[in-house]
Structure 1
Amino acid sequence: MLIVVLVVLAVFLAGAILWWRSMAATQRTLNARDPELAVVVAQIRERQTALAEPTLGLVPADKPGFSKLGGRPDLPAGVAHPQGERGARKFLAQLDLAEVGAAGGPDWLPDTGRIYAFYDDWRHGFSDVVTILHDGLDAAAAATEGEAAFPERRVGFEAGRSGPSIDWLGVDYRGLGGWVEDLLTPEPEGPAHRGGGYPDEIQEDRFPLLCEHMVRGLPDPDYGGEVPPDIERAAEDWRLLLQVDSDSDLKMNFGDGGRLYVFIRRSDARRGEFGKAVGAWHTY
């Protein structure tokens, strides 16, 4: 009996998917007859292309260096492991900024130094869910003592380009019909650990506004409401510093297979003021 139910369910889901695709294709055909809508869609595509920036995938390293995910942090002497609400924060990642620059990373990062990311899941919903430390002197570093929260993976960098999603741009896509599918950024295959550019959103937050509201101590923004001009301008400076995905090999899981994001103003990053970074996460 259970097998029959599962077969019926599978057939139903397959039919629903085919119906949705058919409806989207039909809507796109209707929209194609609307020259004004076609112009709007073309303008959105142009914005996405024009605003694209370098991003670096954090991939397993061929020749292990300093940069890594998980394990224990290699901190300079005298730098303490950050504490959270209930003990030591979980170490997520460390990146050598010289390696990042040599791989073609964002030009708003310093050319030298190292950054470290620590996570406190008890701070979910707060801007300091991730703490970033910055060592700008390249002092000698050594692994700290204690048990690692996650297995270690030394990483290298895979250069790419990253454009903003329609959520990031604040596009109201309710009137775009089937064209929306063409404007969506593709969902990454497998864990998407990377730095620079724009995030792979799971939910429909408009992250630039969310970050700006966080640092100003304002309530979560009304994404459908009117944005004050000063906040709109200030929000344009925010970029993705680090994205850490749920990864079974690293025993990382954020919510229900979600992603953890760290954002920073490009102007703050250029000055090495990484303490002003803010964190957020999305889950399914």
Structure 2
Amino acid sequence: MTALPFSLLLPVYGGDRADHFAKAFRSSVQEQTRPPAQVVIVQDGPVDEALESAIRHAVAESAVPVEHLALPANVGLADALTQGLARCEHDIVARMDADDISLPARFERQLPLIEGGLDLVGTGMYEFLDDVGTIVGSRIPRTDPAEIVAYSRFHDPFSHPTVVYRRSAVRDAGGYQPLGLMEDYWLFARMIAAGAAVGNVAEPLVMYRVGEGAYARRGGIEQWRSERALQIAFRRIGFTTRAQFARNLLVRGVYRFVPERVRRVAYRRLIARPPR
């Protein structure tokens, strides 16, 4: 099997911290056993001097070519990623967030699945607190393609910061489209609906930072509005049945309004497993 080059797409914005970005970049480029051939950093609007300095340092010190696309104003994640994808030189693109950490074998484990014919591949994740040694949970995704497709009607089967995909498959599905806080799930659903071949690596290969307020952000009126818009969009394209639409609005909607302590327990039992 021929090893194909790939691009790394890494968005940053004013809310990101310089030290977190530096770790994310280093872990996804210098420390990978199979590094990307190109990095595209999309700066979504103005950032503080510390983060700007960290970006400049990453560009200057990287052995891998880095393109820094600085957008003059904040346009939101969907539009920023769309502009970043246009700068990627390779059809295979890996995603990374500016506050997470890739484990060294991440791309070595994911790329062979893409090269073998898949269009979208995610991985498991460890969840950690600000101290990287404090792992509080793990997300182990479904790996069987049929199970992934079935599960996608109720829950996002991929964790966005872990995915590697074919840019052509993203384009065929209509690309990133703004949809409240659900742009990633909306894209993956449309890719599945368009016939993309999907898979997951069960092994946690990304460390996902869980900070203060993580559970609060999963609830509230804005999350409910985004959830409702997503479910309406799913129904509009025929991704879900009427029964699935009603179930999702009820179950996922209630989740947005239960007390935070209840949401924390439900998330830990249904989504994230305790650390081993």
TM-score category of the 2 structures, normalised to the smaller one: under 0.3
TM-score, normalised by the number of residues in structure 2: 0.22
By percentage of residues, which structure has more helix? 2
Larger Rg over CA atoms: 1
